[in-house]
Structure 1
Amino acid sequence: MTEGNRKPSGNSGNGGNGMKSKPKARHGHKRPANGGGKPAQTAQTGQQQPGTRKAKSPRELAMDTLVKVAGTGAYSNLQLNRTLQDAGLQRADAGLVTELVYGTIQRQATLDYWLSRFVSKGLHKLEPWVHQLLRMSAYQLLYLDRIPPHAAVNEAVTIAKKRGHSGISGMVNGVLRSIDRGRGELQASDIKNADPIVQIALRHSYPEWLVGRWVAAYGAETAEAICAAGNEHPHSSVRVNTLRGSREEIIGLLKAAGYDAVPSFIAPAGIAIDRGGNLADTDGFREGLWSVQDESSMLVAEVVAPKAGMQVLDCCAAPGGKSTHLAELMGGKGKVWANDLHAHKRDLIVTQTERLKLRNVEAITEDALKLAERFKPQSMDAVLLDAPCSGFGVIRRKPEIKWTKTAGDVSDIAAVQQQLLNAVCGLVRPGGVLVYSTCTIEKDENEQQVARFLQEHPEFELDRNWPEAIASQLRQAGVIGEHFDGQAQLLPQHFDSDGFYIARMVKRP
C-alpha cells in the first residue's frame, strides 16, 4: 500500500470493538461526520441566549432530545439540530450534547441490560424522561472516561429533582451510584449468552432480529464485526473537486490549516481527516475545492466511470454528492441529469453545483418511476440508481435506524427498488452502463435484488470492468476475490467507512 494512505481497520469478530476499556469522551466530535446530518454545526461560540427561564444544562438538553426522538420517531440528527440551534451553546457543550444523544441511542440495549439489574420495579414502568435520564447517565459512567463519575451522577440527580419528586431523585441517585461502584464488572465484552445472536445483540446493542439476519447472511464472526463497527465514531472525509486542484494540493491546504489529512485508501479523490469538525464550514468547501462525502459513497461515481461528453442520469440524486462527482469525472463536459422527487431537494443539488462551479449538471424534479416518460428510450450512456434503502450501512451516523426499522421495512423498500430498476433500465443505450447502489448491507436489497433484475432483464449483465485503482484496493482488503463479477459489498469494518453495495451492469450491444 502507498505510504500515508489510510489503512483498512482489520476489525473482525471482537477485534477493535473497544469494549474492555471505555472509549474516550469526544466532546465536540460530530458523530455524523459525512452524509448523516451535522448536528453540532449550528453550535454558536457565544453565550447562551438570555430568556425568561433559566437555560437548560447540556445534559438536560440531551435528555429532552432523547425523549423526543424515542417518543415521536424524529430523526436524531434533525432533532439535535433544532435543540442546538435554539440553545446557542458553547462548542464544548454542543459537543457533549451530541455525544450523549448519539451514544445513548447507540448503546441503549446494553445500557438497559445493566440498568435492569438495579431498577427493581422494571424499566417498563419508568416515565420516559426518567428512563432516558438513567440511560444517558449510565452511558457517561460506562463509556466516557473523561467525564468524572460524580459530575454525571450529581447532574442526573439535579435534573430528577427539577423534573420529579424526591422519590425519583433518590431512585436515580441510588441506581447510578450502584452502577458507578460496579463499573469494573459491567463490561459489555463479558456478557455471555448461550445463544450467539442474543450475546451479540446485548454486547453491541442491536435488536436481535437484525443480528439474526446478519448472522444468517455473513456468519456470527462477521456479524459481530459489523455491529462493533457500527458503534464506532465516523471519521471525516472530503472529496476533492479535481477540476479545481489535485488531491495532493488539497491535502497541503488542509494540513496548513491544521487538519490531520491523508489520502483515502479506497477513493481516488478522497481525503480522510481525523476529527475534522464541520468541514462544510470552511473556506475550501465554500470555494468549491472539496465536498464532504463518505469514502464508500465516493466509489459509486468512480464505478460508473463516465467519460467527457456523455449523457448521464442520476435517478435519485439529492443532495447531489454523486451527481457532482460524475460531473467532475466528466471534466465538466457532457450532461448529468440530477433528478429528485422533491423540489426542495432539487434546490440542494443546485446549491452544490453552483458552489463547485459545475456547468454540466441539470437538476430536475420528477418521480423516478416516471423518468422513462421524460427521456427517450436508450438515450443515456449511463444511468445511476442510488436507490432508497434501509440504510443499515450508515448506523454509526444515524444510530436510531437500528431501533426504528423492521424486517417489514426491508421487504417494503426492496419492492420499491425493484420497481425503480424496472422503470429506468430502458433508458440505457445498448453498450451503456447501469449502476445500482445502496447504503445498506441487506442482501434482499442488494445481491438478491440485482440477481432478480438480471433474470428478468437478460439484456443486462454484470460488468467487472471497474477502475483498477479501486478494484486493486478492494482485492487487497479482501472485499472482492478472484470470482469478482462486477458487484461488491463494502461492510463498515472494511475501511472504517459506511457500508455500501455497488453493482455495475452493462446493456448488451
Structure 2
Amino acid sequence: MTPAARLSAAIELIGTINAQRVPAAKALKEWGTAHRYAGSGDRAAISGLVWDVLRRRASSAWIMDADTPRARVLGMLRLERGMDADAIAALCDGGRFAPEPLTEGERAALTSRSTRDAPAHIAGDYPEWLDGHLAQVFGDDRVAEATAMASRAPLDLRVNTLKAKREKLLSSLAHLGVQPTPWSPIGLRIELSADARSPGIHAEEDFIKGAIEVQDEGSQLAALLSAAKPGEQVIDLCAGAGGKTLALAAMMAGKGRLIATDHDKRQLAPIYERLSRAGVHNCDVRTPKGSNDTLLDIHASADLVLIDAPCTGTGTWRRNPDAKWRMRPGALEVRLKDQVAVLDRAAALVKPGGRIAYITCSVLPQENNEQIKSFVARHPEFAVVPPEQTVTVLWDKAEEFSKAALQSPEGWLMTPRRTGTDGFFVSVLRKQA
C-alpha cells in the first residue's frame, strides 16, 4: 500500500470507530481481517495513524475547524507528525486510493490555525469534565502534562534479576536497539517511531527463558519504591496478571513468603505460566472461591502489602488513547469505592512496623493524595513514610528522580512529561510498631 492509501484507510477506520462506537483495537482487527492484502507493515502504519488521531482527537479537530474523520486525520498529521500543508497535500492528491485533494479551507487551516487559543481540554486532548481534576494536580501545566500523556510510549522491559543481569541483556538484545532506562536499574528501553511495529519480544530467547518481562519503567519504579526485601512476608493484593508480583519476587531473591491474589480470578489466569518462566518458587497464588476470603490465615503478620489499586488508568493514556475518550465520571466514582475497600482490607493484614505500598496508574488527585489522606484519617495507626525516605532505593538516581517526579506529603507522582514513564502514584504507609 502507498502512504496515501494508508491515509485513506485511516480515515475510513476513524469513521467506523465514530459511527459504530467500537474500541479502536477491535476496529483495526476487523479491518485487517477484511483486507488481507495489506501486509504487516501496512497494518502497523495504519494502526499508528489511527492511534495518533485518537491521541490528538480534540486538538486536530480544533485546528481544522471541523470534527470529521478526515479533518481529524489531517489535523493529526500537522500536530503529531509535524507535516506542513504541502507535505499533506502531496498525500492527498486524489489519485487512486488516495484521499481527495485539500480544499482551500483545509489548506488555510493547516497553514494558519494552532491550539494557542484553544481551551485547555482541547489543547491537551482530554475530556472536558476532567479539566478541573487535572488543574487540581498540575495547575497551569495541565496542557503540557496532558500533551505528554498523548505521545507514543516506548517499549520498556524489566530484567529478571533471578536469571540475568542488565549488562548481559544489553548485548544479547542489541539487535532490538535496547538502551538502559533512565531511572530503573533493572530496565531496558526500545524507542518506537510513529510507524514502527512493536518488536516480537515474546519470540526472543531471553523472554522465553524468563530473563525479561514487558513492564513500563514507571511500574518498575513503583515496585522498587515498595522496598520489598528477602525474607519478608509480602502480599500482592491486586496481583492481576502478575507484573508486579514478578518484580517483587526478584526483589526478594527467592527468599521469604510471597502471596499473590486478586478479587477477580480471571485476571490471575496468566500468572502461573509467568511465575514458572521467571523461575519464581516462593510465590503462593491464591485464587478466590466464591465469597471465601483467601487470606483468612493472615492476621496482622505481613511485612508488606502491595496494592496495585484498581483505578481509572489516566496515567496510561499514551498506551491506550482510546480509553480516555470513553471514560465517564461514573467510572471514577466506582474506582474510588474499590480503592477504599482494598486499602481497608490491607490495613488488617499488616503487622506492627509493617507497611502498605499503595500504587495507581492514575494522575487524578482523588485516587491518589486524597485517597491516602482519607485512609490515614480512618486508620490513624498508619502514617505516610516521607517520600524522600522511600526514594533511597534508587541509589545514585535518587536525587535526580526527586527533582523530576512530583513530590507531595502523600507520595510520588510520575508522569510522561516529568519522568518519561507512564503516570504512576506511589505512597508507602507504615503501621505503628
Q: Is this a same-fold pair by TM over 0.5?
A: yes
Alpha-carbon distance, 1:334 to partner: 2.6
Q: Contact 1:266 / 1:473 at 8 angstroms: preserved in 2?
A: yes
- In the TM superposition, residue 263 of structure 1 has moved relative to its aligned partner by 2.2
User: Residue 277 of structure 1 is aligned with which of 186, 198, 201?
Assistant: 198
Tell me what 2:216 maps to.
Answer: 294
Q: Where in structure 2 are the equivalents of 1:27-426 lying within 5 Å?
A: 58-59=6-7, 61-63=9-11, 65-71=13-19, 73-77=21-25, 79-81=27-29, 83-84=31-32, 87=35, 89-116=38-65, 123=67, 131-140=68-77, 143-144=80-81, 148-150=87-89, 152-154=91-93, 158=97, 173=101, 175=103, 178-180=105-107, 182-188=109-115, 191-192=116-117, 198=119, 200-220=120-140, 222-255=141-174, 257=175, 259-275=176-192, 277-278=198-199, 279-366=201-288, 371=293, 374-426=296-348
- Residues 341 and 366 in structure 1, CA contact (< 8 A), matched pair in contact too: yes
Aligned CA distance change for structure 1 residues 425 and 235 (closer, same or farther; 3 Å): same
Coordinate RMSD, CA, aligned? 3.1
2-structure distance, mates of 1:463, 1:367 = 35
Deviations 1:190-223, CA, capped at 9 Å, x for gaps = x325xxxx1x333332233323322233211x21
Residue 184 of structure 1 aligns to which amino acid in structure 2?
T
Contact 1:372-1:423 within 8 A present in 2 as well: no
1:499 correspondence with 2:423: yes
Contact 1:287 1:356 in 2 (8 A): yes
Query: 1:226-260, CA deviations, whole angstroms, 9 ceiling, x for partnerless residues?
Result: 112112221121110111121112112222x2x33
Bigger mean CA offset, 414-423 vs 374-383? 374-383
Distance change (3 Å), C-alpha of 1:436 and 1:370: farther
Q: 74-83 vs 420-429, which deviates more?
A: 74-83
TM-score after normalising by structure 1: 0.74
SS of aligned partner of 2:307 = strand
In structure 1, how many angstroms separate the alpha carbons of the residues matched to 2:222 and 2:35?
A: 38
User: TM-score of the superposition, structure 2-length normalised?
Assistant: 0.86
Once the 2 structures are TM-superposed, how far is the Cα of residue 458 of structure 1 from its aligned partner? 1.1
Structure 2: distance between partners of 1:322 and 1:108 = 32
Q: Which amino acid aligns with 2:49?
A: L
Measured in 2, the distance between the counterparts of 1:399 and 1:156 equals 31
Give how far 1:86 is off: 6.3
Distance 2:69 2:167 in 1: 46
Distance 2:275 2:218 in 1: 21
- Structure 2 runs not aligned, ≥5 long: none
Q: Which residue identity is paired with 1:217?
A: V
Question: Is the alpha carbon distance of 1:157 and 1:455 closer, same or farther for their aligned partners in structure 2, counting shifts above 3 Å?
Answer: farther
Q: Percent identity?
A: 24
How far apart in 1 are the matches of 2:13 and 2:276? 34
- Are the equivalent residues in 2 in contact too, given 1:140–1:152 (CA < 8 A)? no
Q: Alpha-carbon deviations, 1:119-165, whole Å to 9, x = none?
A: xxxx5xxxxxxx324422443355435795356425799588xxxxx
Q: Using the TM superposition, name which of 306-315 and 321-330 deviates more.
A: 306-315
Cα distance between partner residues in 1 of 2:294 and 2:54: 41
The amino acid that maps onto 1:251 is L
Provide, for residues 263-302 of structure 1, a one-character-per-residue CA deviation record: whole Å limited to 9, x for no partner: 2222121122223932334222122111111111001221
Q: Deviations over 1:362-383 (max 9, x none)?
A: 3332289964754432132211
Q: Give the Cα separation in 1 of the matches to 2:64 and 2:426.
A: 41
Letter of the 1:501 partner, please give it.
F
Q: Quick one: structure 1 residues 497 and 467, their matched pair in 2 at CA, closer, same or farther if it must change by over 3 Å? A: closer
Higher relative contact order (CA 8 A, sep 6+): 1
Shift of 1:397: 0.9
User: C-alpha distance in 1, partners of 2:255/2:34?
Assistant: 44
Query: How far 1:427 sits from its partner (Å)?
Result: 1.1
Gaps of 5+ in 1: 1-26, 28-56, 118-122, 124-130, 161-171
Q: CA deviation at 1:184?
A: 2.6
**SS of residue paired to 1:183:** helix
The aligned counterpart of 1:23 is none
d(CA) in 1 for partners of 2:216, 2:316:
10
Residue 78 of structure 1: how far off its partner (Å): 5.1
- Amino acid aligned to 2:207: F
Q: 2:239, 2:339 → 1: CA distance?
A: 15
Answer whether contact 2:58 2:122 (CA < 8 A) is retained.
yes
1:428 deviates by: 1.2
Q: Which residue of structure 2 aligns with residue 432 of structure 1?
A: 354
Instruction: Provide the C-alpha distance between the structure 2 equivalents of 1:337 and 1:416, rounded to a whole number of angstroms.
Output: 20
Question: C-alpha separation between the residues in 2 aligned to 1:488 and 1:438?
Answer: 11
Residue type of the partner of 1:112? A
Deviates more, 1:77-86 or 1:458-467: 77-86
Q: May I ask how many residue pairs the two structures share in their alignment?
A: 419
